[in-house]
Amino acid sequence: MNYQNLLSSINVTFETLNKSEKKVASAILADPEAATGSSIANLAKKAGVSEPSVNRFCKRFGTAGFPDFKLKLAQCLVSGVKFVNSNVQLNDNVSKYTPKIFDNAIHDLVAIKNQIDLSLVEKVVDQLLSARRIFFFGLGTSGAVARDAENKFFRFDLPVSFHVDVLTMRMLSAAAKPGDLFFMISHTGRTKAIIDAADDAQANGARVVGLTTPGSMLAKKSNFALEVSVSENTEEYMAMTSRIVHLVILDVLATGFILRKGPDFLNHMEKINRSLKPTRYKNN
């Protein structure tokens, strides 16, 4: 139980709590901001329970005690998830839905930042460094992510391409060779074309990195699965925060790549940046 979702946790587990814990939960949910500022005695009084009950409540939610609980509660308030339901409602106006959309993105970034497996990141960077060729595959929303990835990695002086065409994907994965790296991006991790390509590529000795939901089919089929769990209700409207997190993870990988290449590599990067100058008007 991590502190990102402390408030959500309280809400979700509410029914499983016992009488006095429910009182405490209600008091906190009624005004979380206030709770972060009050003493245990105060909150106990407000909830109508004893101080140890509040303390026990805090420990039940995986915190060291009341002060620690307040701290984590305060943090979870900043990251935006004020209430369990920060989903957009049909009758929201601009001042309601705008912060909600931002909050969702912020919340998921904070969550993933704390969950991400650093040693896995390192391993994927290794793979990127040692790959003979890199292919980014994605469809739909993830197609835009794949394109963005290519836009980043082509600067790194190695053969990179992105593909959004399922026929091309089939052909490339059929022709995969050891040393090739197939970087598959799929939020659902169930997109047939992507899974099939992952199978083929791997059968031909290439390595597969999957950027996807935890435990998805793609995650299972990948040599390296970057598993990203976002809070969005995937099916409704359209995916939003998953691709944001995916992009940031690609930034992390790109950064890791550059740093491992060392300072000399920056000259190369600089050369590429300089090339853009003539495409821009000068400042005012």
Interacting residues with a copy of itself between 51 and 90 (CB under 8 A): 67-68, 70-71, 74-75, 77-79, 88, 90
Q: Which does 148 bind (CB under 5 to 8 A by kind): a copy of itself, DNA, none?
A: a copy of itself
d(CA 129, CA 69): 42
Measured CA to CA, the distance from residue 186 to residue 211 in angstroms comes to 6
- 247, exposed or middle or buried, with CB in 10 Å at 0-12, 13-18, 19+? middle
Counting contacts by CB under 8 A, is residue 246 touching a copy of itself?
no
Residue 215 backbone phi and psi in degrees, to 5: 75, 5
DSSP 237: S
Question: Tokens in use for 101?
Answer: 């959309």
- CA–CA separation, 140 and 185 (whole Å): 10
What is the total count of residues that contact a copy of itself (CB under 8 A)?
77
Phi, psi of 195 (to 5 degrees): -60, -45
Tell me which residues in 59-78 interact with DNA (CB under 7 A).
64-68, 70
Q: Which is nearer to a copy of itself, 23 or 182 (CB)?
A: 182
Give the one entry of a copy of itself, DNA, none that residue 2 binds, where binding means its C-beta sits below a cut-off of 5 to 8 angstroms depending on kind.
none
103 in contact with a copy of itself (CB under 8 A): yes
- Other CB atoms within a 10 A radius of the CB of residue 279 amount to 6
Q: Does the protein bind a copy of itself through residue 30 (CB under 8 A)?
A: no
Smaller CB separation from a copy of itself, 20 or 222: 222
Which residue from 29, 129, 171, 248 is in contact with a copy of itself, where contact means CB under 8 A?
Answer: 248
Which of residues 70 and 163 has its CB atom nearest to a copy of itself in the complex?
A: 70
37/234 Cα distance (integer angstroms): 35
Residues that bind DNA (CB under 7 A): 18-21, 39-41, 48-53, 55-56, 58, 64-68, 70
